[in-house]
Structure 1
């Protein structure tokens, strides 16, 4: 599903929500889940356990002139059901885009995972002129879901 300010993809993963959430809540695992190719490694942070928690990622991309870091502020967390964060250049306030993972049990051994990339709260005209949203295409989100399924299977 797409609209003009968010992309959403969905996939059924052959694992219970607790196993899927265990991978998503560990920022050390995020590089292996990233379909965009921007995420390199965790710089600092612990397992995601509460809203307001911040984790810093090492990133790379031409859109930022090479290597850079992001601070990610957890905006939603409901164990085994939901995890979300807003991303910002390191040391800055989030400008309004958010990553949202929603998990729904399908029986005892499967989970419908929904990934939404939402930039609807970005209002800075300079940022909107600089970044052509969506920076991450729908195909990269689909790759992230495939990577999540593979990571949970390990």
Structure 2
């Protein structure tokens, strides 16, 4: 498949048997993210970085030892969060990670996870971007559901 045929925006959705606020807490607190990351790319995120508003920045350490600063560009408590990663002190790479939560009732929530790399221009990051498929996003959703449904 050529680069023009590879979708640059991929997403996956799942209904999770937990309330939106409970699920959002697992997403908005980066310390939880390595537990549900379906890309197996996150090694660690320090505690105390819970995202509370648009413009917040949190850092994560990757499994390869790299450190990412993540800039929150969309935020509605318990409903929507999105961030763009970069190397600390540099401009974001052009990728966007988004989570949208739609309460179905008090105990069930439809969660949609989207990866948008349509603005990515760094040729060194294209292979990794192409490898982030809907199946990887679904793996994150499945792991997130397992954690949220146990709470």
TM-score (norm 2): 0.88
SS in structure 2 at match of 1:50? coil
Specify the alignment match of 1:55 in structure 2: 58
| The one of 113, 116, 141 aligned to 1:115 | 113
Point out where structure 1 has 5 or more consecutive residues left out of the alignment.
61-65
| Per-residue CA distance 1:56-114 (angstroms, 9 max, x = gap) | 10102xxxxx3211110001110111011001123321021010000001122100000
CA spacing shift, 1:19–1:130, aligned 2, 3 Å: closer
How many matched pairs?
A: 144
SS in structure 2 at match of 1:131? helix
- Aligned 8 A contact 1:45 1:54 in 2: no
Specify the alignment match of 2:11 in structure 1: 8
Cα RMSD (Å):
1.6
Specify the alignment match of 2:77 in structure 1: 79
- Aligned 8 A contact 1:14 1:111 in 2: yes
TM-score (norm 1): 0.86
- Aligned 8 A contact 1:41 1:57 in 2: yes
